[in-house]
Amino acid sequence: MTVTRALFDDVMVPNYSPAAVIPVRGEGSRVWDQENKEYIDFAGGIAVNCLGHCHPALVGALKEQGEKIWHLSNVMTNEPALRLAKKLVDSTFAEKVYFANSGAEANEAALKLARRWALDVHGEQKTQIISFKKGFHGRTFFTVTVGGQPAYSDGFGPKPGDIVHAEYNNLDSLKELISDKTCAVMLEPIQGEGGIVPPTKEFIEGVRQLCDENNALLIFDEVQSGVGRTGELFAYMGLGVNPDILASAKALGGGFPIGAMLTTTELAKHLKIGTHGSTYGGNPLACAVAEAAFDTVNTKEVLDGVKEREAIFKNKLAEINDKYDVFKDIRGQGLLVGAELNDKYTGRAKDFLSAALDQGVMSLVAGANVIRFTPSLVIPMADIEEGMARFEKGVANIVNA
Ligand SMILES: *Cc1c(COP(=O)(O)O)cnc(C)c1O
């Protein structure tokens, strides 16, 4: 069977519009398509491929576990899941872990835990969830409603209730909404899909304080920011503010689907036997790969390397901007970098992405005005250099068009 991009339109539900090319293999931060055209990967599968493509540690773990045992279900536990959970607990605020298969599922578990805790401890009136405009938490009906883009949750009938949205980085807007009826406040400790927006110190510390004053739980959605992305193991560690519940996914599996919800023993006890679950969550194959990814990322060398690469990305983008005057802001933390287009190019982030892809470099957008870079955390310096040279050509093509 010849597989072409046209087949997508024939056989796939039309909820995506993928690029015209089909990648067939990758190694490190380089990817090749069906025509054997090479790309530098600054997208990392949307902040997932934290060690690039086919990293030997991950391939090794996958092969080794693939020949042992793939799946059991939660009727039995397994060694990789327990090892990974132990490592997550040992290196974070958390004491307990729940495994899921995706970011949305990890967040779904976090929200259900919060609601259950509030019901058990405080009673039926404490159900309000506060989240933030432009926030993104996944596409299940609960998480997409908690997300701050109504366009994504509209059009599916009645939504899960008692969910309201404040303005990110605006403590007063949270103060207006929060009360003793608030069950949880959920946020990304740096907004990803919403345009790469880091929190101010005053905001994040204020959110924690308001949660404490109102007996509300603080949930950090670290699906995009976690597992080394910001140069910290988790972004909260760089903020000096601990959540009560944390969701991880994306980089956690380095490309293998897995999600995790982390919390304290005190809260975890409210998810009693039978209250929540997943057939695949904590699957040995996923956990074995995630364990290898975690071991590799959670080293001083890799985490320091992220900060080093952040500076190179930002400097390169600033140099391109000096020449072409396209960005009004270059921001982000670690290898979650955003370049916001200036007024002349408003709404054209996708055009830059396409122009860059034509030149052989993969990037992402975060909304209509921000070009996003989420490469491998260990991308070789030479690939950054080459990728940025290609990106610059894409920019030049747009500016000179
Ligand atoms: C990607 C993302 C999600 C959703 O993760 P899925 O694995 O697609 O369900 C949730 N929250 C944040 C912050 C994300 O970036």
CB < 8 Å & 24+ apart, contacts of 300-306: 302/228, 302/377, 302/378, 303/228, 303/231, 303/232, 303/233, 304/231, 305/377, 305/378, 306/228, 306/229, 306/230, 306/231, 306/334, 306/335, 306/377
CB 188 within 8 Å of CB 224: yes
One domain, residues 316 and 186? no
Q: Which two tokens stand for residue 389?
A: 């040279």
Closest ligand 1 atom, CA of 143? 10
pLDDT (0 to 100) of residue 279 = 97
Cβ(138) – ligand 1 distance below 6 Å: yes
Among 237, 267, 297, residue at a domain's last position: 297
From CA 113, how far away is CA 158, in angstroms rounded? Answer: 22
Cβ(103) – ligand 1 distance below 6 Å: yes
In angstroms, what is the span from residue 153 Cα to ligand 1's centroid?
Answer: 15
In angstroms, what is the span from residue 136 Cα to ligand 1's centroid?
Answer: 7
Among 282, 297, 312, residue at a domain's last position: 297
Among 239, 271, 297, residue at a domain's last position: 297
Tens of each residue's pLDDT in the chain, 401 residues: 999 999 999 999 999 999 999 999 999 999 999 999 999 999 999 999 999 999 999 999 999 999 999 999 999 999 999 999 999 999 999 999 999 999 999 999 999 999 999 999 999 999 999 999 999 999 999 999 999 999 999 999 999 999 999 999 999 999 999 999 999 999 999 999 999 999 999 999 999 999 999 999 999 999 999 999 999 999 999 999 999 999 999 999 999 999 999 999 999 999 999 999 999 999 999 999 999 999 999 999 999 999 999 999 999 999 999 999 999 999 999 999 999 999 999 999 999 999 999 999 999 999 999 999 999 999 999 999 999 999 999 999 999 99
One domain, residues 48 and 80? no
Residues in the annotated binding site: 103-104, 136, 139, 221-224, 278-279
One domain, residues 292 and 321? no
- The whole domain housing 157 covers 57-297
Residue 221 annotated to the active site = yes
From CA 245, how far away is CA 261, in angstroms rounded? Answer: 7
Tell me which residue has tokens 């982000």.
332
pLDDT (0 to 100) of residue 118 = 98
Cβ(104) – ligand 1 distance below 6 Å: yes
**Going by CA atoms, what residue is nearest to atom 15 of ligand 1?**
224
User: Which one of 143, 223, 261, 335 would you pick to mutate in the ligand 1 pocket, going by the greatest count of ligand atoms within 8 A of its CB?
Assistant: 223
Tell me which H or E stretch contains 161.
none
Query: CA nearest 140: which of 297, 276, 340?
Result: 276
User: Which one of 111, 132, 229, 250 would you pick to mutate in the ligand 1 pocket, going by the greatest count of ligand atoms within 8 A of its CB?
Assistant: 250
One domain, residues 225 and 265? yes
**Going by C-beta distance under 8 Å and a sequence separation of 6 or more, which residues neighbour residue 356?**
362, 363, 390, 391, 394, 395
CATH number at residue 379: 3.90.1150.10
In angstroms, what is the span from residue 138 Cα to ligand 1's centroid?
Answer: 5
pLDDT (0 to 100) of residue 400 = 96
CB 361 within 8 Å of CB 350: no
**Going by CA atoms, what residue is nearest to atom 10 of ligand 1?**
137
Handedness of CA 8, 338, 374, 237 (dihedral sign): negative
pLDDT (0 to 100) of residue 283 = 97
In angstroms, what is the span from residue 142 Cα to ligand 1's centroid?
Answer: 13
Cβ(186) – ligand 1 distance below 6 Å: no
One domain, residues 110 and 231? yes
Cβ(108) – ligand 1 distance below 6 Å: no
One domain, residues 315 and 264? no
pLDDT (0 to 100) of residue 203 = 98
CB 165 within 8 Å of CB 194: no
Q: For the chain, what is the domain count?
A: 2
CATH number at residue 86: 3.40.640.10
Closest ligand 1 atom, CA of 191? 13
Q: Which of 250, 294, 327, 352 is catalytic?
A: 250
The whole-model pTM stands at 0.98
In angstroms, what is the span from residue 397 Cα to ligand 1's centroid?
Answer: 32
